[in-house]
Structure 1
Amino acid sequence: QNGVYTGTRLGDKWAAKRFTMPYLREALWQMGYAVDTLETATDWDNVDNLLGLIETSLRDGLKDQNENTHVFTHLSHFYSQGCSIYTTYVFRVGDSYEETLARWQTLKTSTSELIVNNRGTISHQHGVGKDHAPHLPVEKGELGMLAIRSLCSTFDPDAILNPETLVK
């Protein structure tokens, strides 16, 4: 309602690079860095708090391994009640795939837990997949999970659409 028009320059720049970004991920990996994103949404009165918690969690998530994580965030998908917090993080790959995966799991899991325990949603427009499903019960609660299981069994009784991903 009270938004400020800033022009189309930022959106145009995003659109121009939209389909080249996956190649940046590969180039960074070849240079020894992994990149990923986390997204949530929350109410306006929680944006500053949750954004700070997310960035701190990711930035400090590998300190016990003497590793630094570069973190940067932008806000997107604005609504009257709140917005999306979209955070990108970059960290050094390990000496092996398994070590890199463990680093990613540490960052992803600890920050996902922080999100659902601090009024953020584990998913926004990207949906809930295998990475986020373990955190869904904290956000939705017992009754919410019962409703989701009921919807899945009613509309997809043979579990064809997304077997054992959202609910088990």
Structure 2
Amino acid sequence: MLRLSNAVETETQLALAGHPQQIAWLEKYLNLRGAGEGKCLLTFGVTGNRRQNALSLTQARQHLKAFGGVFTGTLLGKKWAQNRFRFPYLRENLWNAGYVVDTLETATDWSNVDHLLNLIENSLRDALAAEGERVHVFTHLSHVYGEGSSIYTTYVFRPAADYPATLARWQALKHAASQTIVDNHGTISHQHGVGKDHAPYLLREKGALALDTLQALSKHFDPAGRLNPGTLLPE
């Protein structure tokens, strides 16, 4: 498992980790090792027996050291694994504190990762500028392949005075990022599926022939239209 956080996500995670005194010592150590401002956190994990894990960790440390990586031990990784499935429940606490949080994801070729990542983040940061609202945005790469990587972005914004206005803010953010993705060689969804929110952007990504093919398959295998019609393709 490889999870590479950009600088803003790294800073955010360290701020949310608690234990400010220990984090302060960690920051001092990283500064001394040349990993100060702008540092990025790579979380690395393997499964297997103890010997396999030790060999994998040794190999990983050798590669990362060659690129200026600083090994910080296993505590941060263990804490991430321990709290991984608690993170979704933070949304309720954030809402109570006056913030809305959402995520979106895509994938693209390696040559386009940095370019698309920056465009997505900028589109989200600017989407509510007309209202004078700021958006906190950060990203990590959560799935890596020989050809490219996923890009998984989190954004936090303030709700408006009522539900319809808050929904309009979310729609503006979602549209800005989605349009940026399909206009810049990203896929509208990586592992989360498509569905109603992403379906309007499929034509731009796949083209008319691909959508006609999906429509034909749907008519052939689901002639009665029972399988959630209107979700992926128009009814």
Length-normalised TM-score, structure 2 = 0.66
1:94 Cα offset (Å)? 0.6
1:161 Cα offset (Å)? 2.3
Partner residue, 1:152: 218
Partner residue, 2:92: 26
**Which structure carries more relative contact order (alpha carbon 8 Å, separation 6+)?**
1
Partner residue, 1:69: 135
Q: Which amino acid aligns with 2:109?
A: D
Alignment of 1:58 onto 2:113: no
C-alpha distance after superposition, 1:49-83 (max 9, x if no partner)? 10010000001111110000000000111011100
Find the residue that maps to 1:64 and give its secondary structure. helix
Within 5 Å, give how 1:66-105 maps onto structure 2. 66-105=132-171
Partner residue, 1:16: 82
Alignment of 1:143 onto 2:198: no
C-alpha distance after superposition, 1:5-45 (max 9, x if no partner)? 36876664443223222210011011110000010000011
Alignment of 1:163 onto 2:218: no
1:99 Cα offset (Å)? 1.0
Gaps of 5+ in 1: none
- Greater shift in the superposed pair: 114-123 or 19-28: 19-28
1:132 Cα offset (Å)? 0.4
Alignment of 1:121 onto 2:187: yes
Structure 1 or 2: more helix by fraction:
2
Please give the alpha-carbon distance, in whole angstroms, between the structure 1 residues aligned to 2:220 and 2:87: 38
Percent of residue pairs identical? 62
Q: Which amino acid aligns with 1:82?
A: G
Q: Which of the two has higher C-alpha Rg?
A: 2
Aligned pair count reads 166
1:85 Cα offset (Å)? 0.3
Please give the alpha-carbon distance, in whole angstroms, between the structure 2 residues aligned to 1:67 and 1:130: 27
Gaps of 5+ in 2: 1-55, 62-72
C-alpha distance after superposition, 1:99-156 (max 9, x if no partner)? 1111000000111011011100001111101110111110000011111111222222
Please give the alpha-carbon distance, in whole angstroms, between the structure 2 residues aligned to 1:106 and 1:62: 7
1:162 Cα offset (Å)? 2.4
Please give the alpha-carbon distance, in whole angstroms, between the structure 1 residues aligned to 2:141 and 2:220: 36
1:90 Cα offset (Å)? 0.1
